[in-house]
A and B are shown apart, each in its own frame.
Chain A
């Protein structure tokens, strides 16, 4: 038998909170050959993680395997007893979680957790396990492999934790690795290193793997075959080449076209007139913590940022997490009063804090947050959520207000009947549309969008972006669009500003982003975005610029570690 994993007619059912039983995996067949990496892709709720977890004989609470078999290395995990499954996990199949930051126990050292598999299954003496862990740390290109294990999870970075989680999975020499969206939570520049480390380890050991992801470009780098899932059913199976280049199923096509957003069409037609700046930010400084004697906060996040935003245009702000993107939006919105510098809107200086701004100033500048789940009041129906800003800014009541709510829903392409629903009864994309409609209700001139598509599935996000583009043309809106996803920014923005460590390092027209970036960090960031090209990751080695940038980055990591150890 050459297949190490064979899933036959797998059905998984789940019990909802109301006690209804629904089938979430509807008869899936799947096989993985020895040494092969198969990717499961699909949007959230398509059942990809559920399938991956059945390889370990595990279902999340509320779910159970209804029928079918999951044979791994000749043994059926569905039929096993709980004790057999325990022996199986970590030794035959190992799991690399989505968020390593959450999957490491905060109160134990990294080494303790990495060698735990060896301890649980009594695979080798503790000293041998430690030695092996250090070798794995080295193979996964972690800094200070000898000593990194003595630290606690909060003392290392996210990208390092993700590689440490892989080391934790590899220690038991499993035959199959299950990767559950292991790079989703990482910055693009970090993601590259993690992907390369994973790929090298899988190749060197000839291990089979199942790689769960919603990102087709990432999967294209690491998988041999791709399985496309939707609503618990397999839509399409094929080699990575075939699926990426010649998708046969509609859903796969939608996924791939969502990945290639249409570049922003030419600026709006009325832009012939010299566009007046709607927002001007001049040497803005902001940060957190107590004010020091020099008039600056203890932790300065934004350093001397200058921005100009023209009416009817969109400015993208890109950069890795911690670069100050969101702080910039908060400072402009007045949620975080700046320590120094000026914010001017329509040529008039704005006060630093929200409380000092007039209602009219507040109305003109709206902010839309990343997570619609937390930004919408869960106890109010959509209609009431939208009616509130209408009353607050425009003192609308009664029938006029009801009509306006309908109009807003129509604007964001949602059916009117939705106004009676609670946010929890909407899908992720619908919630984000309501979140955006609430900002539109104020009839603003400028909308700050803080990672508004990051939590959405690719296809849904593409539809939201299209909507934003249309509304801009119809209403003449101005956007400041914050994202860590460069293709999103490419789709919607006229210009991009690159943030790095709180400073704006470069600004350029979007069309020049790929070819004309000058600052080394912008180039590193832009060339780190995975391409829908199976040879992209391997081809990176030939890119001398990226290699030197990576080397710099490692030097910086080592320096940060050394500094932490000294203190």
Chain B
């Protein structure tokens, strides 16, 4: 690490904060534009106009939107996510448990899918044009084209209904021991891995093949290097940047985009929480969930950028 790398990282952090502010603005006003009056909905059809007006004042709904945005932003910064409209609980408390669940699922999927995807991508590039490469390519294309609810449904049918090896629902709070944990996570993790790995395999393969076509890899070949050496020692270090970005993009899906998987396996994660919040018009909850997804996404991109910067010797050593 030197001054140049540090400066670049600080720059990225600055850009990240600006993006967050813009997203916060967009999220707040997009939820504002949802039709209907929250106070009216909360109190129901039979509420008196006075009661509705009183609730509106209590919820600051009578103040201009921009002012409420500033209040909300101040709350976010000081860690106060607000109170849920629907069940009058702290949003932070509602989310924290769900977020742990989601992160657990994402973490297990990452540990499982990233090594497999990288191995498959790199070996496919190594043996480009071979039967192995073609099989990997065909399988990844098919997996990309099959929607995940299809994979999940078939998995439930096969493993839970016919074979009865795995539970159909994944309820993480009643876990005793590692075996049971594996059993519960098996099906959601497999389904999610299918979805995220396909992209990673293809991008890794493309990135490695790109660097395999460079003169310095040909030079290594003419020095007598084996194929393994050419790929692992010459091509891969220079393909790290694009690979890190592909992995980050795929993994960002694990938090926000898993709603279908969470629904099918009845898994209590953040995505499901957010969809429930939309149906109950629970604005603070929706806004907080959106912000969390955004932070996770930006963090992943930041990590990928830092890896790309560090793996570039031109930036590392001046």
Contact = CB atoms under 8 A, between A and B. Distances in A.
A58 B218 CA distance: 10
A121 interface: yes
B215 to A, nearest CB: 4
Contacts of A154: 313-314
Given A106-B238, A107-B238, A155-B317, A116 B223 contact: yes
B234 interface: yes
A121 B214 CA distance: 23
Contacts of A99: 215
Nearest to B222: A95
Interface residues of B, number: 24
Interface string B216-233: 111111111110010001
A421 interface: no
Contact of B226 (A86, A95, A567): A86
B313 A86 contact: no
Interface string A64-95: 00000000000000000000001111110011
A540 interface: no
Interface string B274-318: 000000000000000000000000000000000000011110011
A254 interface: no
A432 B265 CA distance: 65
B257 interface: no
A95 B219 contact: yes
Interface of B: 214-226, 229, 233-234, 237-238, 311-314, 317-318
A58 B222 contact: yes
B94 to A, nearest CB: 47
A112 to B, nearest CB: 9
A58 B237 contact: no
Nearest to B223: A90
B223 A168 contact: yes
Interface of A: 53, 56, 58, 86-91, 94-95, 97, 99, 102-108, 116-117, 120-121, 151-152, 154-155, 168, 567
B314 A87 contact: no
Contacts of B219: 95, 97, 103-105
A504 B66 CA distance: 61
A120 B223 contact: yes
A107 B311 contact: yes
Q: Which of A88, A89, A151 has the most CB of B within 10 A?
A: A89
Given A102-B216, A107-B238, A121 B313 contact: no
B224 A121 contact: yes
A95 B312 CA distance: 27
The 9 A-B residue pairs with the shortest CB-CB distance, nearest first, are A89-B224, A90-B224, A102-B215, A103-B219, A95-B222, A105-B216, A107-B237, A90-B223, A152-B313
Nearest to B213: A61
Nearest to B225: A120
Contacts of B224: 86-91, 117, 120-121
B236 to A, nearest CB: 9
A328 to B, nearest CB: 28
29 contacts: A58-B221, A58-B222, A86-B224, A86-B226, A89-B221, A89-B222, A89-B223, A91-B224, A95-B219, A97-B215, A102-B214, A102-B215, A103-B215, A104-B216, A105-B216, A105-B219, A105-B220, A105-B234, A105-B238, A106-B216, A106-B314, A107-B311, A108-B237, A116-B225, A120-B226, A151-B317, A152-B314, A152-B317, A155-B317
Contacts of A104: 216, 219
Nearest to B318: A567
Nearest to A61: B213
A116 B220 contact: yes
Nearest to B219: A103
B256 to A, nearest CB: 34
A75 to B, nearest CB: 14
B208 to A, nearest CB: 14
A56 B221 CA distance: 10
Contacts of A97: 215, 218-219
A389 to B, nearest CB: 36
A129 to B, nearest CB: 13
Contacts of A56: 222
Contacts of A567: 318
A40 B198 CA distance: 48
Nearest to B214: A102
Contacts of B317: 151-152, 155
Contacts of B225: 86, 116, 120
Nearest to B233: A108
A404 to B, nearest CB: 43
A90 B224 CA distance: 6
Contacts of B234: 105, 108
A277 to B, nearest CB: 44
